[in-house]
Structure 1
Amino acid sequence: MQAIHKEFPALAGEEKGRVHTMRISTETLKPIVALLMSKHWRLLTMAGNDERAQAGTFTVSWVFGLAKENKIMRLVLPVDQHKPVFPSIFELTESALLFELEIRDMFGLTPEGNPELTVEDDHGKGRMRRLAHHHNWPENTYPLRKDFPWNKRPPEVDVPFPFRYGEGEGVFEIPVGPIHAGVIEPGHFRFTAVGEMILNLEIRLWYSHRGIEKLFEQKNLTDAVVLAEHISGDTSFAHSLAFCEAAEELAGMPVSKRAGLLRIIFLELERIYNHVGDIGMIGLDAAFAFAGSNGSRLKELAMQLNDKLTGSRILRGVNAIGGVTKDITGENAEFLEKFLASFEQDFEEFVNVLFSTSSLLDRLETTGRLKQKTAFDYNTVGVVARASGLKRDARQDFPNEWWRHTHMSVPTFETGDVFARFQVRVEEVRQSVKIIRTTLAQLPEGEPILSTRPIALKEGDVAISIVEGWRGELVHMVIAGANNSLYRVKVRDASFLNWPTLSRAILNNIVPDFPICNKSYNMSYAGNDL
């Protein structure tokens, strides 16, 4: 912070909690970003906002975080509504590319200098690259502007999507999806291959776009928590937690120690049931049926535990602004302790079989390798980042007061292949069991689990929350509106940062190994598409 103020003394800034907000100009944007990057700050998210009614401008925000020091810097640039252009920072951090295209699609603000603004189609013509908008969305229609009606369907048009086409002798294309042979979300994968060797993979998402961020603006705070649970179904608890923590910061509402520790337990329960399922499915995609059946069995046991403790297999209806609605006491606490002991033994027997099966390891090792430099350049997070040697985990990097006193380690591996992502999950399940067991023993008696204090938000205030979901880091930026409403909610799922690296990890692998590689990532379509 001091280095920025020393370098740019004329810029106005304000600090609230761990978030420092600085209003910048077009001329100072890139020098400030370059300075932040040199000091190891990392881009967490970007967000557009329509402030024409208040200030006559749009704004673009860049949110950076400084790991371990638990600091957040929000740079805010006003954008002229009559000249809706802002500078791209792609040359400084590649992860800005998709954020900038998303802002262009949603607000009509053009990131000048972004190399993906136009791409050539199969006829060599330059066409605008769409990210969130598909071929039937009309041009010059921007849904996150305040004058766009949330409940009116725009007319359909037909705008060709500019896929990149492979050329050359023996080169052919394999289109897969968006509808798949299974109960999974829609996404289109177009492979360019020679024989079975993959030369290029182009991924087209946003088939699951539901207008989540626009819907937040129509919700009261209670209904907004429910909406947050539906951002990505398998991450219901983590996303609702991220929203609640931001709302609590806006309201200045403290959470009791018991509620804070219960949130840790539920967050780790969500991590466990998803990870054990993925461990099994990675094995199944390598044609090892034992892994699939036993991983599914363990996942089912974990989800039955969730249901017993909370009434929801996927931990919905647990978070609320001010704490949680479900406690773990008496019989349920004893049941949880016994479950952990039994589950831990069962899980170890399961993974011992997997690690001793050479045919399985042969399929996982060296497959789908993501190099550490590529992972760093693309700003990957979560399981994918840790498997490529990046020690990133919001529980340690940006801890709240409860995580700050929770002992944990961050498992990392260097190879960046499917096996490394498999190993990260195994280690995290082991660690989650220990965290739950320790936290359960620390629950204080006699404290309320949900605050009854009235919620009061101040219009224009901004809060940013960071939660380590089971896939990785989630970021919610919430701007309060008038009368306890939500003016703007920006959501960034871990998948948004990790999806672009899948097409890099699969290069020079064979087509039959794509399902294993894809499952080892297991990104969320809905969490990405919003």
Structure 2
Amino acid sequence: MSNLNWTEIFGQAMDAAGVLIETQPATADHLSAWQIADRHWQKLAEVAMTHRLRWSAGWAEQGPEQFSVYVLFEKQGEYLQVRTSIDLNRAELPSQATVYPAANRSERHTQDMFGIKFAEHPDNRPWTRHKAWDKHQYPLRKAFAVQGQPEAITPPDLDYAFVKSHGAGTYEIPVGPIHAGIIEPGHFRFQAVGELILNLEERFGYTHKGIEKIAEGRTPESLARLAGRVSGDTTVGHAWAACKAMEQAANISIPPRAALLRGILAERERVANHLGDIGAICNDVAFTFAQIQFSRLREDWLRTQANIFGHRLLMDCIIPGGVKHDIGEADCDAFKADNVRLRKELSDIITTLDLNSSLEDRLYTAGFLSEDIAAAFGTLGYVGRASGQDFDVRRDAPYPPYDKVTVKVALENQGDIASRFWIRYKEIMASMKLIEQFMALLQAGEIATAWQIPAAGSSGLGIIDGWRGEIVSYVAFGSDNKISRFYPRDPSQLNWPALEKLVLNNIVPDFPVCNKSLNGSYSGNDL
């Protein structure tokens, strides 16, 4: 029996396919790094697919004479980062989206932002641009000014080539991009016959923030604040991932107490969002009682956070090298009281929901996402785990403080709205237990490590499990402690395309609850 791990076996397969691999220094635990020639870019994807590697993220950066393009794969909790280089004046690569559907929108984003063409891409329509800049301008190229050259009014993106409805009895329903309520803009174009959904296309990018561009030249402290605003409901997750990447680049380790406090913050963020989502799922099928109760529980949870950390959503609590706020014995008592109260309340409310036949009728079998489609799109977090994708960074690629505890990962395989509902509930229960374990491990000590200025050219890759799933954050430093490249990959980038699949053959009135059961982040997608 071979003692080789999958990375070594994969390397042998690549060698047999005629691909020369140059091994690079890895910047993180559970990570290997390779460099290959650009002509082998698609072969890399083809061999990766045969070895059942999961496509996780893709990004690019510009150097003085070339573009570097990266892809990140994962299998069995181990990651492989592969880089290739292409000439600035001949910016073209084979598309990996022909092999991995998960790469589709990432490559379109890179095309819009850098002008790198992906040959044979299955969908060459613009994704991020929305006519906010000329089609021959590329904002992430170094020559592009951060303020750009915007027109007084951005021209409307009227000629985006949505799939057209054909056939007797079919019709189109345009929804958005402006919605009722306070959610962010996103456009959903349906084809339907009667009430049955035949096709759905999504269109995002209406609130492109320029996160990647305005990160350039920032200090580590400033980048941490920016990362916490990639998606406001995941401020802990994105700030942690960015800080983890910066800490790797600077070759520093955070104190054990700081790691435990980060864990407490992340799990409280997870609980708060899951409480809100469960209530919202019920509300979208007119079960208002549950929405009221879960909103009340979430509000109590957030008020404790405001009292202890100074911010309801925990913004700016994570800083490079550690955390901003320490907690005392009284704070731990407040967290314990929150857990006791929440467990008691959930025991009563969940029993009521479980016995409600009308709720069951709307959630079970609706919004079905098969295991095969979930795997093909690389779905993450509660979306993936409700469709049999048994992966959690905290358990499978553990990082402090999760390497000190046992992480119980909820898993379902029915793939419907009910599964995504129950995964959230189980994760709430597991998160409260983790919070208690982290508090029990707390010992006196520092909450931050002194910062060390990284050498120019240093980079890091921060991978953590946010409440929506795996977050990937790439950070590279230039000179004078300034950021030269920041790329955050929110789980929503991989989860959103699954919505186009799980609504098929559902009725139009069920779209809101299908959408809420996925609950992708518009902001996390619209960098």
**2:321 and 2:451 in contact (8 A); partners too:** no
**Closer/same/farther in 2, CA of residues 5 and 252 from structure 1, 3 Å limit:** same
Name the SS for the 1:410 alignment partner: coil
- The one-letter amino acid of 1:12's match is E
Match of 2:517 among 502, 517, 520: 520
Residue number in structure 1 paired with 2:111: 104
Question: Residues 148-167 of structure 1 correspond to what in structure 2 (within 5 A)?
Answer: 148-155=144-151, 156-157=154-155, 160-167=159-166
Match of 1:59 among 68, 71, 88: 68
187-196 vs 87-96, which moves further: 87-96
**Distance between the aligned counterparts of 1:508 and 1:231, measured in 2?**
33
- The one-letter amino acid of 1:101's match is R
Question: Residues 74-153 of structure 1 correspond to what in structure 2 (within 5 A)?
Answer: 74-117=81-124, 129-153=125-149
15-24 vs 326-335, which moves further: 15-24
**2:101 and 2:376 in contact (8 A); partners too:** yes
**1:191 and 1:200 in contact (8 A); partners too:** yes
Residue number in structure 1 paired with 2:384: 385
Name the SS for the 1:459 alignment partner: coil
341-350 vs 370-379, which moves further: 341-350
**Aligned-residue offset at 1:392:** 1.6
**Normalising to structure 1: TM-score of the pair?**
0.94
**Aligned-residue offset at 1:447:** 0.7
Name the SS for the 1:198 alignment partner: strand
**Distance between the aligned counterparts of 1:460 and 1:505, measured in 2?**
43
**Aligned-residue offset at 1:136:** 4.6
**Distance between the aligned counterparts of 2:181 and 2:340, measured in 1?**
34
**Distance between the aligned counterparts of 2:458 and 2:486, measured in 1?**
12
**Distance between the aligned counterparts of 1:459 and 1:27, measured in 2?**
29
**Aligned-residue offset at 1:64:** 1.6
What percentage of residue pairs aligned between the two structures are identical?
Answer: 36
**Distance between the aligned counterparts of 2:61 and 2:11, measured in 1?**
25
Residue number in structure 1 paired with 2:445: 447
Residue number in structure 2 paired with 1:23: 35
Residue number in structure 2 paired with 1:430: 429
**Distance between the aligned counterparts of 1:13 and 1:200, measured in 2?**
44
Residue number in structure 2 paired with 1:299: 298
1:72 maps onto 2:105 in alignment:
no
**1:136 and 1:158 in contact (8 A); partners too:** no
**Aligned-residue offset at 1:183:** 0.9
1:467 maps onto 2:464 in alignment:
yes
**Distance between the aligned counterparts of 1:248 and 1:22, measured in 2?**
21
Name the SS for the 1:147 alignment partner: coil
- The one-letter amino acid of 1:63's match is L
Residue number in structure 2 paired with 1:47: 59
Residue number in structure 2 paired with 1:2: 8
**1:4 and 1:32 in contact (8 A); partners too:** no
392-401 vs 207-216, which moves further: 392-401
Residue number in structure 2 paired with 1:219: 218
**Aligned-residue offset at 1:2:** 2.7
Question: Residues 150-189 of structure 1 correspond to what in structure 2 (within 5 A)?
Answer: 150-155=146-151, 156-157=154-155, 160-189=159-188
**Distance between the aligned counterparts of 1:81 and 1:336, measured in 2?**
53
Name the SS for the 2:56 alignment partner: strand
325-334 vs 290-299, which moves further: 325-334
**Aligned-residue offset at 1:318:** 0.8
Name the SS for the 1:473 alignment partner: strand
**Distance between the aligned counterparts of 2:114 and 2:445, measured in 1?**
45
**Closer/same/farther in 2, CA of residues 204 and 32 from structure 1, 3 Å limit:** closer
**Distance between the aligned counterparts of 2:391 and 2:20, measured in 1?**
34
**2:198 and 2:504 in contact (8 A); partners too:** yes
**Distance between the aligned counterparts of 1:254 and 1:293, measured in 2?**
43
Residue number in structure 2 paired with 1:367: 366
**Distance between the aligned counterparts of 1:185 and 1:356, measured in 2?**
34
Name the SS for the 2:101 alignment partner: coil
**Distance between the aligned counterparts of 1:484 and 1:36, measured in 2?**
36
**Distance between the aligned counterparts of 1:399 and 1:259, measured in 2?**
16
**Distance between the aligned counterparts of 2:461 and 2:11, measured in 1?**
22
**Closer/same/farther in 2, CA of residues 430 and 49 from structure 1, 3 Å limit:** same
Match of 1:477 among 466, 474, 478: 474
Residue number in structure 2 paired with 1:282: 281
- The one-letter amino acid of 1:88's match is S
Match of 2:488 among 484, 488, 491: 491
**1:201 and 1:503 in contact (8 A); partners too:** yes
**Distance between the aligned counterparts of 1:112 and 1:93, measured in 2?**
14
**Distance between the aligned counterparts of 2:104 and 2:451, measured in 1?**
41
**1:138 and 1:157 in contact (8 A); partners too:** no
**Aligned-residue offset at 1:478:** 0.9
88-97 vs 424-433, which moves further: 88-97
**Distance between the aligned counterparts of 1:190 and 1:415, measured in 2?**
27
**Aligned-residue offset at 1:35:** 3.4
Partner deviation per Cα, 1:199-255 (whole Å, 9 max, x = no partner): 111111111210001111132111111101110011011100011111111111111
428-437 vs 342-351, which moves further: 342-351
**Distance between the aligned counterparts of 1:212 and 1:397, measured in 2?**
29
**Distance between the aligned counterparts of 1:301 and 1:168, measured in 2?**
52
**Distance between the aligned counterparts of 1:251 and 1:41, measured in 2?**
29
Residue number in structure 2 paired with 1:14: 24
**Normalising to structure 2: TM-score of the pair?**
0.94
**Distance between the aligned counterparts of 1:344 and 1:4, measured in 2?**
46
- The one-letter amino acid of 1:529's match is D
**Aligned-residue offset at 1:509:** 0.6
Question: Residues 246-325 of structure 1 correspond to what in structure 2 (within 5 A)?
Answer: 246-325=245-324
- The one-letter amino acid of 1:192's match is Q
**Aligned-residue offset at 1:41:** 2.8
**Distance between the aligned counterparts of 2:235 and 2:308, measured in 1?**
15
- The one-letter amino acid of 2:311's match is S
Question: Residues 389-408 of structure 1 correspond to what in structure 2 (within 5 A)?
Answer: 389-408=388-407
Name the SS for the 1:161 alignment partner: coil
- The one-letter amino acid of 2:279's match is G
- Alpha-carbon RMSD: 1.5
**Aligned-residue offset at 1:4:** 4.9
**Aligned-residue offset at 1:470:** 0.8
161-170 vs 30-39, which moves further: 30-39
**2:132 and 2:150 in contact (8 A); partners too:** no
- The one-letter amino acid of 2:445's match is E
- The one-letter amino acid of 2:21's match is L
**Distance between the aligned counterparts of 1:157 and 1:279, measured in 2?**
39
**Distance between the aligned counterparts of 1:171 and 1:111, measured in 2?**
34
Name the SS for the 1:482 alignment partner: coil
Name the SS for the 1:484 alignment partner: coil
Name the SS for the 1:478 alignment partner: strand
Name the SS for the 1:95 alignment partner: helix
Matched length: 512
**Closer/same/farther in 2, CA of residues 23 and 412 from structure 1, 3 Å limit:** same
Residue number in structure 1 paired with 2:3: none
- The one-letter amino acid of 2:22's match is A
293-302 vs 400-409, which moves further: 400-409
Name the SS for the 1:206 alignment partner: coil
Name the SS for the 1:488 alignment partner: strand
